[in-house]
């Protein structure tokens, strides 16, 4: 999927400063790109959101594993577009760069800002889920404390996780790469335990063990799933596959990026698709869907996580190991989220949307100011998750992913079919080469619209916690920031819009 740039694009880029002069250094390889996607994807989405999805959409019933597979497959247009754009414009905060170059600074920045808010919301939820998985690990190890799943427990463990990962990022991107290699090994081990245990355990045996814990035995009932609920769960599971952006945001720090970025993006998506599908089917094979709601209603909702359920079925030593492993995996998932958010801020500062100090780097070549700001905003969403409900951060992220999905398709269509827009941008021919890419763009727009409609409203949630309200507030803030950036550029006699017709510095 690698695309060579045109001579005009190369000429423009040669006139701009190199990445090293901006402080970032290209030192990572294709494996880190792929594993960044997997590391961000395989965490609370598959271990928390997937088994508890029936809490929000009970009508999906036995179709939850299929929804996980379909959610990955409908991302194919996005994967194709990500691979194409990353070969043409591999930059820090790549998705933001592509949107503003394809849609213009106002609309592109607004969509990217929603994505950024979704990233911070998801990071806050991941930090919130840290307490749940540490609590599971404590229970599996024989401790009876429930403190980790109290509000104070969620808040303190979440804050600790966020700031520990922040310290890692500030120490440099090489250390992030080392963490990602370790995370890849941990994910493989954890997924293997779940898959083998889930498929090897008969449902009757699993329910008997579960009944000993909850004090009753759920009654089987025939499945009559709702198509609307199924589509909503597919949209919800966009959260689980959101890790693809972590790989795209490494565009400014990957060696031979035009070659390695597309390969890493495709590989990361494929690995996550296989692991997610197998884990989902394995879990629901052992613990049928009709047992989920009775468990929630009986006050044992803390049992509805992948490690807690598998822990009942595996030998004690493996159960303890898995719970500890998943707790570590969930914490490490914060790392690619913070990388993604901080590189967005870095790119915004380069283009003048926020103060330029956020594009500066420390001695370790890390954008420290951007990292700290991203962590601080994530802490606000952690508080939102603790006091407002975990579904908001998850759904907000899912909606923002769907919006970007559709917007990048629209940007590609404009670059392909709007003559004046296309002529003004030297990179347009590279981004849209091939009739199949144009077809993919149309599919991305249509799929994104359907997914947005399916999850933009959260049932039973106050209006001020609704995803649509939080997204509306974010959109207003983005417009204000764009207007201020335009005004500052005009005061210096600069054409604000001209910078978005060429790629930013490489």
The pLDDT tens digits for 397-422 are 777 878 888 999 999 999 999 999 99
pLDDT of residue 241: 78
Question: Residues 51-109: pLDDT tens digits?
Answer: 888 887 888 888 999 999 998 998 898 899 999 999 999 998 889 999 999 999 999 99
Mean pLDDT, residues 13-22 taken together: 41
pLDDT of residue 7: 45
pLDDT of residue 21: 44
Mean pLDDT, residues 268-287 taken together: 91
User: What's the token pair of residue 294?
Assistant: 């009775």
Q: How far apart are CA 111 and CA 203, in angstroms?
A: 44
Count the helices and strands in the chain (H runs, E runs).
24, 0
Q: Which of 335, 477, 331, 461 is nearest to 393 (CA)?
A: 461
Q: How far apart are CA 70 and CA 385, in angstroms?
A: 27
Q: How far apart are CA 405 and CA 400, in angstroms?
A: 8
Torsion of CA 457, 459, 461, 466, to 10 degrees: -10
Q: How far apart are CA 168 and CA 274, in angstroms?
A: 29
pLDDT of residue 381: 87
Q: How far apart are CA 335 and CA 91, in angstroms?
A: 19
| Most confidently modeled range among 112-126, 242-256, 270-284, 311-325 | 270-284
Q: How far apart are CA 70 and CA 88, in angstroms?
A: 29
Q: Which of 312, 291, 235 is nearest to 58 (CA)?
A: 291
Of 334 and 11, the one with more pLDDT: 334
Which residues lie closer than 8 Å to 226 by C-beta, 6 or more apart?
59, 60, 61
């Amino acid at each position: 999927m690698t695309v060579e740039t045109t001579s005009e694009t190369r000429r423009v880029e040669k006139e701009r400063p190199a990445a090293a002069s901006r402080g970032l250094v290209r030192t990572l390889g294709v494996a880190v790109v792929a594993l960044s996607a997997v590391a961000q994807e395989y965490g609370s989405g598959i271990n928390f959101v997937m088994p508890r999805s029936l809490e929000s959409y009970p009508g999906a019933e036995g179709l939850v594993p299929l929804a996980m597979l379909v959610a990955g497959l409908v991302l194919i247009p996005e994967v194709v577009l990500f691979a194409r754009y990353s070969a043409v414009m591999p930059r820090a905060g790549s998705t933001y760069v592509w949107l503003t170059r394809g849609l213009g600074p106002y609309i592109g920045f607004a969509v990217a800002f929603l994505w950024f808010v979704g990233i911070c919301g998801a990071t806050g939820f991941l930090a919130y889920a840290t307490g749940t998985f540490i609590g599971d690990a404590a229970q599996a190890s024989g401790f009876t404390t429930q403190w980790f799943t109290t509000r104070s427990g969620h808040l303190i463990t979440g804050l600790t996780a966020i700031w520990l990962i922040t310290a890692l990022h500030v120490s440099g991107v090489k250390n992030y790469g080392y963490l990602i290699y370790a995370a890849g090994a941990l994910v493989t081990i954890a997924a293997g335990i779940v898959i083998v245990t889930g498929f090897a355990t008969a449902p009757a045996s699993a329910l008997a063990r579960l009944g000993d814990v909850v004090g009753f035995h759920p009654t089987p009932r025939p499945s009559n799933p709702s198509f609307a609920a199924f589509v909503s769960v597919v949209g919800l599971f966009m959260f689980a596959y959101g890790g693809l952006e972590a790989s795209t945001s490494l565009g400014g720090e990957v060696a031979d990026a035009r070659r390695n970025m597309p390969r890493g993006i495709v590989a990361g998506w494929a690995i996550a698709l296989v692991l997610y599908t197998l884990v989902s089917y394995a879990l629901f094979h052992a613990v049928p869907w009709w047992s989920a709601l009775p468990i929630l209603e009986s006050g044992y909702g803390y049992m509805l996580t992948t490690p807690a359920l598998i822990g009942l079925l595996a030998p004690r030593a493996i159960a303890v190991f898995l719970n500890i492993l998943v707790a570590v995996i969930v914490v490490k998932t914060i790392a690619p989220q913070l990388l993604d958010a901080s590189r967005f801020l870095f790119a915004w500062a380069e283009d003048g949307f926020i103060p330029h100090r956020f594009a500066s780097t420390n001695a370790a070549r890390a954008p420290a100011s951007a990292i700290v700001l991203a962590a601080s905003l994530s802490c606000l969403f952690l508080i939102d998750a603790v006091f407002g409900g975990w579904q908001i951060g998850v759904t907000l992220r899912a909606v923002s992913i769907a919006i970007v999905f559709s917007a990048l398709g629209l940007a590609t269509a404009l670059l392909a079919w709007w003559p004046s827009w296309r002529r003004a941008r030297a990179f347009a021919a590279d981004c849209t080469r091939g009739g199949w890419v144009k077809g993919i763009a149309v599919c991305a727009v249509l799929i994104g619209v359907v997914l947005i409609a399916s999850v933009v409203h959260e049932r039973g949630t106050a209006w001020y916690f609704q995803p649509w309200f939080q997204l509306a507030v974010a959109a207003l803030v983005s417009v204000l920031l764009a207007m201020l950036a335009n005004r500052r550029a005009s005061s210096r006699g600069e054409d604000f819009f001209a910078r978005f017709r060429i790629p930013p510095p490489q």
